[in-house]
Amino acid sequence: MERLLNEKSRIFEHADPHAVSDYVNQHVGAHCIRLPRTGSPQASLSHCKFGKLDLCQISYGGSVHVTSPALETIYHLQLLQRGHCLWRSTISRPASCC
């Protein structure tokens, strides 16, 4: 993935996580983030498009809770490079996030 996402594909580095989230919402897919109340995480994003496929490397710089109702109806491949992920279905919850 490092070769596909290079300097040219870097959109954000050491940025506000909400700015990264806004970009992802506009260019990749709808989601919401919730950050811890303490700390000042620095986010980064690399993004390139291959036809209808988006390839992203996203770091929110710390613990973040991501919700996305769209994941109930589309395929999403996530490869973790660091950290951990817990996925829960929201079928029994309303389709809105945040």
Which positions ≥6 away from 68 have C-beta within 8 Å?
29, 30, 31, 32, 76, 97
Q: What is the mean pLDDT of residues 78-85?
A: 78
> What are 13-51's pLDDT values in tens digits?
999 999 999 999 999 888 899 998 888 889 999 999 888
The model's confidence at residue 97, banded by pLDDT at 50, 70 and 90, is low
Please report the pLDDT score of residue 25 as a whole number.
Answer: 92
Domain coordinates in residue numbering, the chain:
7-72
Return the percent helix, strand and coil in the chain, to nearest 5.
Answer: 20, 30, 55
Q: What percent of the chain has pLDDT over 70?
A: 87
> What are 48-72's pLDDT values in tens digits?
988 888 899 999 888 888 888 777 7
